[in-house]
Chain A
Amino acid sequence: MIQSVETHATLAEAQRAMGSDAIFMAGGTLVMRDVNAGATATRIVRSSDPELGDIRLSGDGVTIGAGVTMAAIATHRDLSFLAPVARAVGGPQIRNMATVGGNLFAPHPYGDLAVALLALGARVAVVSQSGAPRPIMDILRERGRVGLVASVHVPRPQSPADFTFLKVSRIKPKGVSVLSIAAHLPRQGGRIRGARVAFGAMGATPLQATAVERVLDGQNLDASTIARAVQVAVEGLDPPTDALASAWYRREVAGVHLKRLLERMVRG
């Protein structure tokens, strides 16, 4: 049962205040669900650090503060490539509250933005770790122990047509993912170089579909490449069964949706 709420002026102070009895709250869309249901933590820790809301162009992309909301991403002129993803998260109210940082820690089946960030090769600045921001996949793997996140650096796709996101949900426009797919396929001379394809709700965290990436790399994006990519769509993945869909169903349809997404990219 929550017994106190602390708000710290800087993220660094908030990180120091964390402990096994505390949970960090940003937008609250996940934490307050647990609080309402009777969380075991006794302290809520928040931060009013203004850097959490920053969006800055830097280097090859954009650095987004961990406290930036989905609604802010959906309307920011430098983040138009992420807008369709942000708009797929929750409904309008959730988008006004949910943050980039929170999405990184969202348990299955949530975390649609994190899927897109994984496909884009984002890097994450961790409060308790100095040095360069770390690849997002590392953070996703360590998210039980990595502590608070300060910002996410997202490289901008060279061409908007190289990046696509697809969310599969039973209810539209707002629904929880049965699965989601993000693909970043930079082209050089028509050939794919450095393919990154990420799946959401197909494992404990957003995951890269490395078998698909290997098939796509060095190829033209055409019908035969797509067919071969679809064949290995779920290779190395072990999707879960939950109230929305069974593991069997996810395995059956992942390739179908991957095909649709890749064909959409061909059409441009």
Chain B
Amino acid sequence: MAKTPVVFVLNGSERASFAEPGQNLLEFLRRGVGDLSPKYGCGQGTCGACTVTIDGETHLSCLTLAESVAGKRVGTAAGLATGNQLHPLQEAFMEGFAAQCGYCTPGMLVSAKALLDRNPTPTREEVVEAISGNICRCTGYEPIIEAILAVAKGRARA
């Protein structure tokens, strides 16, 4: 079976690897490219643990055909920090106890970042809708919502 070369941009740098026919983007990123930050939770598009951005919009990588990102810009949770400099969302999650087992966290952060990038001052309702495609079994969501709102408020003050 022929594999397809896929050249794309991951978290700002150009990457290339080979996709199996029908391989989803999640497996491609994890095993083909080595970015382990998006996670497998269901393979059915219900849990959101695999959330990445494609050209700035959130997508479920488990339901995305790997080869469809050729030439596109993909963003994952691993791309939030710059070296040791954490993104304000990461700081806020740590400060606000917004993760317990941590498995939903990469997907949550990607959804949260996508929200704040297009809407820096969301209402609580808008935050809830933005993370409505990410399931968390541990925190009950409140600390996550508060952390996102805290970042928005911090930016509004700045």
Query: Is A236 in the interface zone, CB < 8 Å from B?
Result: no
* Count of A-B residue pairs with CB < 8 Å: 83
Distance of A93 Cα from B68 Cα, bound (Å)? 16
Which of A24-32, A55-63, A77-85, A247-255 faces chain B? A24-32
Which of B86-94, B128-136, B149-157 faces chain A? B128-136
- Report the nearest B residue to A175, measured CB to CB: B132
A96 surroundings in chain B (CB, below 8 A): 57-59
Which of B7-15, B43-51, B72-80 faces chain A? B43-51
Do most interface residues of chain A lie in helix, strand or loop, or is the interface mixed? mixed
Q: A5-B65, A37-B43, A174-B132 are in contact. Are A97 and B59 (CB under 8 A)?
A: yes
Most buried by B among A4, A5, A39, A71: A5
- Report the nearest A residue to B62, measured CB to CB: A36
Distance of A91 Cα from B132 Cα, bound (Å)? 6
B60 surroundings in chain A (CB, below 8 A): 29, 93-94, 97
Distance of A29 Cα from B45 Cα, bound (Å)? 7
> Taking beta carbons and an 8 Å cutoff, which residues of A are in contact with B?
1-5, 25, 28-29, 32-33, 35-37, 39, 44, 46, 71, 90-94, 96-97, 173-174
Provide 12 A-B residue pairs closer than 8 Å at the C-beta atoms, listed in order of the A residue: A1-B22, A4-B1, A5-B4, A32-B64, A33-B43, A35-B22, A46-B68, A71-B57, A93-B51, A93-B60, A93-B111, A173-B128
4 further A-B pairs in the complex, CB-CB below 8 A; given A32-B62, A33-B44: A36-B62, A90-B45, A96-B58, A173-B132
